[in-house]
Structure 1
């Protein structure tokens, strides 16, 4: 008894048993690699959170503690953001290949449909033959900002202004941020301008991603 299942499409069985086994192992390998790089992404995010936590501890230790560590930690978080955006481009390669197999191989197989469409097979083969990043660094940067780092920068900026304005209020509260001859209010303004610039960039990349997804019939693809 076949339990009422529809018959397999004749083209579904064009793959030999050994080829099906190889594809299954290929999929497992891509999932494993995407998982490894997903872990690496989490590592840089954790480093950013720990660094911000240390800066908060130092600046808020006493009422007279300087707020400068909260400003300087933004540069360290920026380095972690750069590293994570680079790692995301690699992660996206393995993730995209795994999703490609799920959509065009496993899903049609479960529906008893044709799985040997030469378009997706050629696209996947080309990606293995000439591997390359599927998204630009600028888009990867925007995505990591949207997912994680804008929240971290938001906490950093709020903590910095909370420390300065809570210490003495007004311009006097920014004196703990002075660097040499540079007044504290200038440093605070630079932090705010940088934060607003990142927020605008995140929003712009989000608009580009949404437009790109709306223009495609299938929103999941290589990249």
Structure 2
């Protein structure tokens, strides 16, 4: 009993530690986007380019956070597993139900640790939890900059002219932006459907994660 209690405390600590790391990368994304907004909206003549370039940093932070989430999910799943099969039975019945072999699955996870979710599933989950709003603010801020600065937009052609960056025409920049947003949205939707399908058709009652 004492060993399991200390094991649970250790897993809670690791889960909390990695959860803090997830918050750190989200904060980095919010701060960099805030800096880009400040630069782009500092004056009507300021370029909207920082709002485009910050997308590279946001993607980098998203991938880093997804990687951290895969680690976090391992510790979280173990904590939840111990809660369901150790804490709950002890509190309700005073019996660990070892015949259900839950302890073997936990031991196997310690013997051969592995990720419980794929990288793209982790990316989709982080988009749904946090990065959807970050990407939405980036998109709205960029379009708003094109519409209001250096003056109110007069025609669609003027929008394309303002969106052009160096040798790249406006239609290409806006097209790439649409692809950028739709790609992350598609990954988020695929991840949501995959999680729902996984939960609905889970045949292994001893599955973790």
Flag whether TM exceeds 0.5 (same fold): yes
Aligned mates of 1:30, 1:174 — CA distance in 2: 53
Residue equivalent to 2:55? 74
Q: Over the residues paired in the alignment, what is the CA RMSD in angstroms?
A: 1.8
Residue equivalent to 1:55? 36
Residue equivalent to 1:211? 197
Between Structure 1 and Structure 2, how many residues are aligned?
A: 204
TM-score after normalising by structure 2: 0.91
Pick from 76, 79, 86 the counterpart of residue 95 of structure 1.
Answer: 76
Residue equivalent to 2:20? 39
Consecutive unaligned residues of structure 2, counting only runs of 5 or more, are none
Aligned mates of 1:31, 1:87 — CA distance in 2: 16
1:103-182 correspondence runs (5 A): 103-115=84-96, 116-117=98-99, 119-167=101-149, 168-169=152-153, 170-182=156-168
Mapped pair 1:188 → 2:174: yes
Consecutive unaligned residues of structure 1, counting only runs of 5 or more, are 1-19
Q: Is the 8 A contact 1:93 1:133 kept in 2?
A: yes
Q: Is the 8 A contact 1:166 1:173 kept in 2?
A: no
Residue equivalent to 1:16? none
Residue equivalent to 1:7? none
CA deviation after TM superposition for structure 1 residue 174, in Å: 4.4
1:186/1:219 Cα in 2 relative to 1: closer, same or farther (>3 Å)?
farther
Q: Which piece of structure 1 moves more, 82-91 or 183-192?
A: 183-192
TM-score after normalising by structure 1: 0.86
Q: Is the 8 A contact 2:105 2:206 kept in 1?
A: no
For residues 5-51 of structure 1, the C-alpha deviation after alignment (integer angstroms, 9 at most, x for no partner) is xxxxxxxxxxxxxxx00000000000000000000000000000000
Larger radius of gyration: 1
Q: Which piece of structure 1 moves more, 145-154 or 112-121?
A: 112-121
Q: Is the 8 A contact 2:26 2:130 kept in 1?
A: yes
Q: Is the 8 A contact 2:37 2:51 kept in 1?
A: yes
